[in-house]
Amino acid sequence: MSLRSLKILLTGVSGQLGHALKASAPVALGGSPLELILCDRSNLDLADPDACRAVVGHLRPDWILNAGAYTAVDKAESEAEHTFAVNAGAPRAFAEALVDCGGRLLQLSTDFVFGGAQGHPYRPDQSRNPLGVYGASKASGEEAIEELMGTSGEGLILRTSWLMGPVGQNFALTMLRLHNERDELNVVADQVGCPTSTRGLAAACWRLIEIAQGRNSLPLKCHWCDAGAASWYDVAYAIGELGKQLGLIECEAKVQPISTSDYPTPAPRPSYSLLDCRETWHALDLQPLHWRKGLQEILLELKRLRSGQPLI
Ligand SMILES: NC(=O)c1ccc[n+]([C@@H]2O[C@H](COP(=O)([O-])OP(=O)(O)OC[C@H]3O[C@@H](n4cnc5c(N)ncnc54)[C@H](OP(=O)(O)O)[C@@H]3O)[C@@H](O)[C@H]2O)c1
Protein backbone atom coordinates (compact mmCIF):
# COMPACT_ATOMS: atom_id res chain seq x y z
CA MET A 1 0.00 0.00 0.00
CA SER A 2 1.46 3.37 -0.99
CA LEU A 3 1.63 6.13 1.61
CA ARG A 4 -0.55 9.20 1.11
CA SER A 5 1.68 12.14 0.26
CA LEU A 6 1.69 15.41 2.18
CA LYS A 7 0.78 18.15 -0.27
CA ILE A 8 2.43 21.49 0.48
CA LEU A 9 1.81 24.59 -1.61
CA LEU A 10 4.80 26.92 -1.38
CA THR A 11 4.39 30.57 -2.39
CA GLY A 12 7.18 33.05 -3.08
CA VAL A 13 9.50 30.44 -4.61
CA SER A 14 11.51 33.09 -6.46
CA GLY A 15 12.17 35.03 -3.24
CA GLN A 16 15.17 34.52 -0.98
CA LEU A 17 13.37 32.32 1.55
CA GLY A 18 11.52 30.53 -1.26
CA HIS A 19 14.86 29.51 -2.78
CA ALA A 20 16.09 28.12 0.54
CA LEU A 21 12.81 26.27 1.18
CA LYS A 22 12.89 24.70 -2.25
CA ALA A 23 16.54 23.71 -1.92
CA SER A 24 16.06 22.15 1.52
CA ALA A 25 12.66 20.52 1.05
CA PRO A 26 12.72 17.08 2.68
CA VAL A 27 11.72 14.00 0.71
CA ALA A 28 9.22 13.06 3.42
CA LEU A 29 7.76 14.71 6.51
CA GLY A 30 6.35 12.80 9.47
CA GLY A 31 6.52 9.57 7.46
CA SER A 32 4.59 10.94 4.45
CA PRO A 33 6.27 11.59 1.11
CA LEU A 34 6.30 15.31 0.33
CA GLU A 35 4.49 16.66 -2.71
CA LEU A 36 5.66 20.23 -3.15
CA ILE A 37 3.62 22.56 -5.35
CA LEU A 38 5.64 25.63 -6.31
CA CYS A 39 3.90 28.98 -6.80
CA ASP A 40 5.35 32.19 -8.08
CA ARG A 41 3.63 35.20 -9.59
CA SER A 42 3.40 33.45 -12.98
CA ASN A 43 0.88 30.96 -11.61
CA LEU A 44 -0.64 32.75 -8.59
CA ASP A 45 -1.04 36.48 -7.99
CA LEU A 46 -1.07 36.92 -4.21
CA ALA A 47 -2.79 40.28 -4.66
CA ASP A 48 -5.85 38.46 -6.03
CA PRO A 49 -7.84 36.92 -3.14
CA ASP A 50 -10.19 35.04 -5.47
CA ALA A 51 -7.19 33.38 -7.12
CA CYS A 52 -5.77 32.49 -3.68
CA ARG A 53 -9.07 30.90 -2.63
CA ALA A 54 -9.46 29.12 -5.97
CA VAL A 55 -6.01 27.52 -5.84
CA VAL A 56 -6.85 25.99 -2.46
CA GLY A 57 -10.20 24.66 -3.71
CA HIS A 58 -8.56 23.26 -6.82
CA LEU A 59 -5.39 21.74 -5.35
CA ARG A 60 -6.59 20.91 -1.80
CA PRO A 61 -3.16 21.25 -0.16
CA ASP A 62 -2.55 19.84 3.30
CA TRP A 63 -0.44 22.93 4.00
CA ILE A 64 0.25 26.32 2.50
CA LEU A 65 3.69 27.63 3.33
CA ASN A 66 3.22 31.30 2.51
CA ALA A 67 6.72 32.68 1.95
CA GLY A 68 5.50 35.17 -0.66
CA ALA A 69 5.13 38.77 0.45
CA TYR A 70 5.52 42.36 -0.64
CA THR A 71 8.80 43.15 1.13
CA ALA A 72 9.84 46.53 -0.32
CA VAL A 73 9.48 48.34 3.01
CA ASP A 74 10.05 51.88 1.67
CA LYS A 75 8.05 51.50 -1.54
CA ALA A 76 5.18 50.10 0.53
CA GLU A 77 4.61 53.59 1.97
CA SER A 78 3.37 54.79 -1.43
CA GLU A 79 1.78 51.45 -2.48
CA ALA A 80 -0.34 50.74 0.58
CA GLU A 81 -3.29 49.21 -1.24
CA HIS A 82 -1.17 46.69 -3.13
CA THR A 83 0.98 45.96 -0.05
CA PHE A 84 -2.13 45.15 1.99
CA ALA A 85 -3.56 43.04 -0.82
CA VAL A 86 -0.47 40.81 -0.85
CA ASN A 87 0.50 40.80 2.83
CA ALA A 88 -2.93 40.80 4.45
CA GLY A 89 -5.37 39.78 1.69
CA ALA A 90 -3.53 36.61 0.64
CA PRO A 91 -3.14 35.10 4.13
CA ARG A 92 -6.80 35.93 4.86
CA ALA A 93 -7.95 34.31 1.61
CA PHE A 94 -5.74 31.24 2.21
CA ALA A 95 -7.02 30.89 5.78
CA GLU A 96 -10.68 31.20 4.70
CA ALA A 97 -10.28 28.58 1.98
CA LEU A 98 -8.25 26.22 4.17
CA VAL A 99 -10.88 26.38 6.91
CA ASP A 100 -13.46 25.35 4.29
CA CYS A 101 -11.37 22.67 2.60
CA GLY A 102 -9.43 21.38 5.60
CA GLY A 103 -5.78 22.33 5.40
CA ARG A 104 -3.19 24.21 7.43
CA LEU A 105 -1.22 27.41 6.99
CA LEU A 106 2.31 28.44 7.92
CA GLN A 107 2.57 32.20 7.50
CA LEU A 108 5.90 34.04 7.59
CA SER A 109 5.92 37.34 9.42
CA THR A 110 8.24 40.03 10.66
CA ASP A 111 9.72 42.05 13.51
CA PHE A 112 8.00 45.10 11.91
CA VAL A 113 4.75 44.05 13.63
CA PHE A 114 6.31 45.52 16.78
CA GLY A 115 7.04 49.16 17.48
CA GLY A 116 10.77 48.68 17.94
CA ALA A 117 11.20 50.82 21.04
CA GLN A 118 10.99 48.20 23.79
CA GLY A 119 14.68 47.74 24.58
CA HIS A 120 14.44 44.01 25.37
CA PRO A 121 13.44 41.10 23.09
CA TYR A 122 9.81 40.91 21.96
CA ARG A 123 8.02 37.76 23.08
CA PRO A 124 5.73 35.95 20.60
CA ASP A 125 2.60 36.67 22.65
CA GLN A 126 3.14 40.41 22.99
CA SER A 127 0.57 42.70 21.41
CA ARG A 128 1.32 44.11 17.99
CA ASN A 129 2.14 47.74 17.42
CA PRO A 130 3.25 47.77 13.78
CA LEU A 131 5.62 50.18 12.10
CA GLY A 132 4.82 51.70 8.70
CA VAL A 133 2.65 50.30 5.91
CA TYR A 134 4.68 47.11 5.56
CA GLY A 135 4.46 46.36 9.32
CA ALA A 136 0.74 47.17 9.38
CA SER A 137 0.04 44.93 6.38
CA LYS A 138 1.93 41.99 7.89
CA ALA A 139 0.18 42.56 11.25
CA SER A 140 -3.16 42.50 9.44
CA GLY A 141 -2.23 39.17 7.83
CA GLU A 142 -1.43 37.80 11.29
CA GLU A 143 -4.76 39.06 12.63
CA ALA A 144 -6.65 37.23 9.90
CA ILE A 145 -4.97 33.94 10.80
CA GLU A 146 -5.58 34.49 14.49
CA GLU A 147 -9.25 35.28 13.81
CA LEU A 148 -9.90 32.35 11.46
CA MET A 149 -7.54 29.66 12.73
CA GLY A 150 -6.57 30.81 16.21
CA THR A 151 -8.64 28.31 18.13
CA SER A 152 -8.31 25.32 15.79
CA GLY A 153 -4.50 25.28 15.83
CA GLU A 154 -4.52 24.93 12.03
CA GLY A 155 -2.57 28.15 11.50
CA LEU A 156 0.98 29.01 12.51
CA ILE A 157 2.74 32.37 12.33
CA LEU A 158 6.53 32.38 12.22
CA ARG A 159 8.18 35.78 12.66
CA THR A 160 11.75 36.50 11.74
CA SER A 161 14.06 39.49 11.26
CA TRP A 162 16.84 40.80 9.00
CA LEU A 163 16.59 37.88 6.56
CA MET A 164 19.64 37.20 4.40
CA GLY A 165 20.68 34.47 1.99
CA PRO A 166 22.93 33.82 -0.99
CA VAL A 167 20.12 34.49 -3.50
CA GLY A 168 17.75 37.45 -3.94
CA GLN A 169 17.84 40.94 -2.55
CA ASN A 170 19.16 41.53 0.93
CA PHE A 171 21.51 43.64 3.03
CA ALA A 172 24.37 41.11 2.88
CA LEU A 173 24.48 41.00 -0.91
CA THR A 174 24.07 44.79 -1.23
CA MET A 175 26.87 45.45 1.28
CA LEU A 176 29.18 42.95 -0.39
CA ARG A 177 28.71 44.77 -3.70
CA LEU A 178 29.26 48.18 -2.04
CA HIS A 179 32.45 47.00 -0.32
CA ASN A 180 33.73 46.24 -3.81
CA GLU A 181 32.60 49.54 -5.31
CA ARG A 182 33.41 52.12 -2.61
CA ASP A 183 36.22 53.17 -0.31
CA GLU A 184 33.92 54.18 2.50
CA LEU A 185 30.45 53.11 3.65
CA ASN A 186 28.21 54.99 6.09
CA VAL A 187 26.00 52.51 7.91
CA VAL A 188 23.39 53.01 10.63
CA ALA A 189 24.72 51.94 14.04
CA ASP A 190 21.78 52.78 16.30
CA GLN A 191 19.31 50.13 15.08
CA VAL A 192 19.73 46.78 16.79
CA GLY A 193 18.38 43.45 15.61
CA CYS A 194 19.55 40.02 14.54
CA PRO A 195 20.45 38.85 11.02
CA THR A 196 18.84 35.53 10.14
CA SER A 197 20.01 33.15 7.43
CA THR A 198 17.41 31.85 4.98
CA ARG A 199 18.87 28.38 5.35
CA GLY A 200 18.29 28.23 9.11
CA LEU A 201 14.81 29.73 8.75
CA ALA A 202 13.92 27.21 6.04
CA ALA A 203 15.00 24.36 8.33
CA ALA A 204 12.81 25.85 11.08
CA CYS A 205 9.81 25.98 8.70
CA TRP A 206 10.14 22.33 7.71
CA ARG A 207 10.58 21.31 11.35
CA LEU A 208 7.51 23.31 12.42
CA ILE A 209 5.39 21.50 9.85
CA GLU A 210 6.81 18.14 10.88
CA ILE A 211 6.02 18.78 14.54
CA ALA A 212 2.55 20.15 13.77
CA GLN A 213 1.85 17.10 11.58
CA GLY A 214 2.60 14.92 14.60
CA ARG A 215 -0.22 16.88 16.27
CA ASN A 216 2.16 18.14 18.89
CA SER A 217 0.86 21.44 20.10
CA LEU A 218 2.77 24.51 19.05
CA PRO A 219 1.99 28.10 19.96
CA LEU A 220 0.15 30.07 17.25
CA LYS A 221 2.97 32.62 17.11
CA CYS A 222 6.60 31.53 16.94
CA HIS A 223 9.87 33.44 16.54
CA TRP A 224 12.91 32.22 14.63
CA CYS A 225 16.09 34.27 14.22
CA ASP A 226 19.75 33.41 14.37
CA ALA A 227 21.37 34.01 17.76
CA GLY A 228 23.01 37.16 19.07
CA ALA A 229 22.45 40.85 18.39
CA ALA A 230 23.99 43.39 16.05
CA SER A 231 23.58 46.81 14.51
CA TRP A 232 23.52 47.26 10.73
CA TYR A 233 26.98 48.77 11.15
CA ASP A 234 28.24 45.56 12.84
CA VAL A 235 26.80 43.46 10.02
CA ALA A 236 28.29 45.67 7.29
CA TYR A 237 31.67 45.49 9.02
CA ALA A 238 31.49 41.70 9.34
CA ILE A 239 30.54 41.36 5.66
CA GLY A 240 33.68 43.28 4.67
CA GLU A 241 35.89 41.10 6.88
CA LEU A 242 34.33 37.78 5.88
CA GLY A 243 33.99 38.74 2.21
CA LYS A 244 37.69 39.51 2.05
CA GLN A 245 38.69 36.33 3.92
CA LEU A 246 36.62 34.25 1.49
CA GLY A 247 37.97 36.02 -1.60
CA LEU A 248 34.58 37.45 -2.58
CA ILE A 249 35.91 41.02 -2.55
CA GLU A 250 39.39 42.35 -3.15
CA CYS A 251 39.37 44.90 -0.36
CA GLU A 252 36.91 46.03 2.27
CA ALA A 253 35.60 49.57 2.45
CA LYS A 254 36.05 51.60 5.61
CA VAL A 255 32.73 51.33 7.46
CA GLN A 256 31.63 54.46 9.30
CA PRO A 257 28.87 54.35 11.95
CA ILE A 258 26.05 56.86 11.43
CA SER A 259 22.74 57.44 13.17
CA THR A 260 19.22 56.80 11.88
CA SER A 261 18.66 60.55 11.56
CA ASP A 262 21.63 60.74 9.15
CA TYR A 263 19.90 58.23 6.84
CA PRO A 264 16.23 59.20 6.44
CA THR A 265 13.98 56.61 4.77
CA PRO A 266 10.33 56.81 3.64
CA ALA A 267 9.35 54.03 6.08
CA PRO A 268 10.23 54.15 9.79
CA ARG A 269 12.64 51.48 11.03
CA PRO A 270 12.54 49.79 14.44
CA SER A 271 15.45 50.96 16.58
CA TYR A 272 15.28 47.67 18.48
CA SER A 273 13.89 44.58 16.78
CA LEU A 274 15.23 41.60 18.68
CA LEU A 275 12.71 38.77 18.89
CA ASP A 276 12.71 36.40 21.84
CA CYS A 277 13.14 33.05 20.08
CA ARG A 278 13.92 30.82 23.05
CA GLU A 279 10.50 29.15 23.19
CA THR A 280 10.61 28.27 19.47
CA TRP A 281 14.24 27.10 19.48
CA HIS A 282 13.25 24.79 22.34
CA ALA A 283 9.97 23.59 20.77
CA LEU A 284 11.74 22.79 17.49
CA ASP A 285 14.77 21.32 19.25
CA LEU A 286 16.96 23.20 16.77
CA GLN A 287 20.13 25.04 17.67
CA PRO A 288 20.37 28.48 16.04
CA LEU A 289 23.65 29.64 14.59
CA HIS A 290 25.28 32.80 15.87
CA TRP A 291 24.43 35.44 13.21
CA ARG A 292 28.09 35.84 12.25
CA LYS A 293 28.41 32.11 11.60
CA GLY A 294 25.17 32.28 9.60
CA LEU A 295 26.61 35.14 7.57
CA GLN A 296 29.79 33.18 6.92
CA GLU A 297 27.70 30.26 5.63
CA ILE A 298 25.74 32.60 3.33
CA LEU A 299 28.96 33.98 1.86
CA LEU A 300 30.43 30.49 1.46
CA GLU A 301 27.26 29.44 -0.33
CA LEU A 302 27.51 32.50 -2.57
CA LYS A 303 31.06 31.50 -3.43
CA ARG A 304 29.86 28.04 -4.38
CA LEU A 305 27.08 29.50 -6.52
CA ARG A 306 29.50 31.84 -8.27
CA SER A 307 31.68 28.88 -9.12
CA GLY A 308 28.69 27.27 -10.86
CA GLN A 309 27.70 24.78 -8.18
CA PRO A 310 24.01 24.37 -7.29
CA LEU A 311 22.39 25.78 -4.14
CA ILE A 312 22.52 23.42 -1.16
N1 LIG B 1 13.51 40.15 3.99
C2 LIG B 1 13.53 40.35 5.31
O3 LIG B 1 14.46 40.95 5.88
C4 LIG B 1 12.42 39.81 6.17
C5 LIG B 1 12.46 40.06 7.55
C6 LIG B 1 11.41 39.56 8.33
C7 LIG B 1 10.40 38.82 7.77
N8 LIG B 1 10.39 38.61 6.42
C9 LIG B 1 9.28 37.82 5.87
O10 LIG B 1 9.81 36.59 5.40
C11 LIG B 1 9.08 36.15 4.25
C12 LIG B 1 10.03 35.86 3.11
O13 LIG B 1 10.68 37.08 2.78
P14 LIG B 1 11.80 37.16 1.64
O15 LIG B 1 12.88 38.05 2.16
O16 LIG B 1 12.13 35.80 1.14
O17 LIG B 1 10.99 37.97 0.54
P18 LIG B 1 11.42 38.24 -0.98
O19 LIG B 1 12.79 37.78 -1.25
O20 LIG B 1 11.04 39.65 -1.27
O21 LIG B 1 10.42 37.27 -1.74
C22 LIG B 1 9.05 37.51 -1.74
C23 LIG B 1 8.41 36.67 -2.80
O24 LIG B 1 7.02 37.03 -2.89
C25 LIG B 1 6.68 37.14 -4.25
N26 LIG B 1 5.58 38.04 -4.48
C27 LIG B 1 5.46 39.35 -4.16
N28 LIG B 1 4.29 39.83 -4.61
C29 LIG B 1 3.66 38.81 -5.22
C30 LIG B 1 2.42 38.67 -5.89
N31 LIG B 1 1.57 39.71 -6.01
N32 LIG B 1 2.08 37.47 -6.40
C33 LIG B 1 2.91 36.41 -6.30
N34 LIG B 1 4.10 36.47 -5.68
C35 LIG B 1 4.47 37.66 -5.16
C36 LIG B 1 7.93 37.69 -4.91
O37 LIG B 1 7.86 37.43 -6.29
P38 LIG B 1 8.86 38.16 -7.33
O39 LIG B 1 10.19 37.54 -7.08
O40 LIG B 1 8.27 37.81 -8.65
O41 LIG B 1 8.78 39.62 -7.00
C42 LIG B 1 9.00 36.89 -4.20
O43 LIG B 1 9.19 35.64 -4.79
C44 LIG B 1 8.04 37.24 3.98
O45 LIG B 1 6.83 36.88 4.62
C46 LIG B 1 8.60 38.46 4.67
O47 LIG B 1 7.58 39.36 5.05
C48 LIG B 1 11.38 39.06 5.60
| CA 169 to ligand 1 centroid distance, Å | 10
Contact 163, 16 (CB under 8 A): yes
Residue 190, phi then psi, degrees to nearest 5: -110, 20
**What residues flank ligand 1, with Cβ below 6 Å?**
12, 14-18, 40-41, 44-47, 67-71, 86, 108, 110, 138, 160-163, 168
DSSP 8-state class, residue 62: S
Cα separation, 92 vs 97, whole angstroms: 9
Distance of CA 81 to the CA centre of its chain: 22
pLDDT given at position 190: 97
pLDDT given at position 2: 66
Contact 59, 9 (CB under 8 A): yes
Indicate which residue's Cα is closest to atom 40 of ligand 1.
41
Indicate which residue's Cα is closest to atom 45 of ligand 1.
108
pTM of the model: 0.97
Indicate which residue's Cα is closest to atom 1 of ligand 1.
163
Q: Which residue type sits at 185?
A: L
pLDDT given at position 4: 86
Q: Is 134 a catalytic residue?
A: yes
Indicate which residue's Cα is closest to atom 34 of ligand 1.
41
Cα separation, 243 vs 238, whole angstroms: 8
Cα separation, 61 vs 265, whole angstroms: 40
Which residues partner with 48 through β-bridges?
A: none
pLDDT given at position 312: 61
In this structure, the number of other CB atoms found within 10 A of the CB of residue 254 comes to 12
List, for the chain, all residue ranges whose pLDDT scores fall below the cut of 50: none
* Selection from 232, 271, 259 nearest residue 122 by Cα: 271
pLDDT given at position 31: 87
pLDDT given at position 309: 73
Non-local CB neighbours of 15 within 8 Å, separated by 6+ positions: 67, 68, 69, 71, 168
pLDDT given at position 35: 97
Alpha helices, DSSP H, located in the chain: 16-24, 49-59, 73-76, 80-84, 90-101, 132-149, 171-181, 198-213, 232-245, 278-284, 291-306
Contact 174, 185 (CB under 8 A): no
Cα separation, 97 vs 86, whole angstroms: 16
Cα separation, 215 vs 221, whole angstroms: 16
**Going by DSSP bridges, is the β-strand pair 63-66/6-11 parallel, antiparallel, or unpaired?**
parallel
Ligand 1: residue of 17, 106, 197, 232 to mutate (most ligand atoms within 8 A of CB) is 17
* Selection from 8, 20, 4 nearest residue 55 by Cα: 8
**Going by DSSP bridges, is the β-strand pair 104-110/63-66 parallel, antiparallel, or unpaired?**
parallel
For CA atoms 208, 227, 231, 201, give the dihedral sign: negative
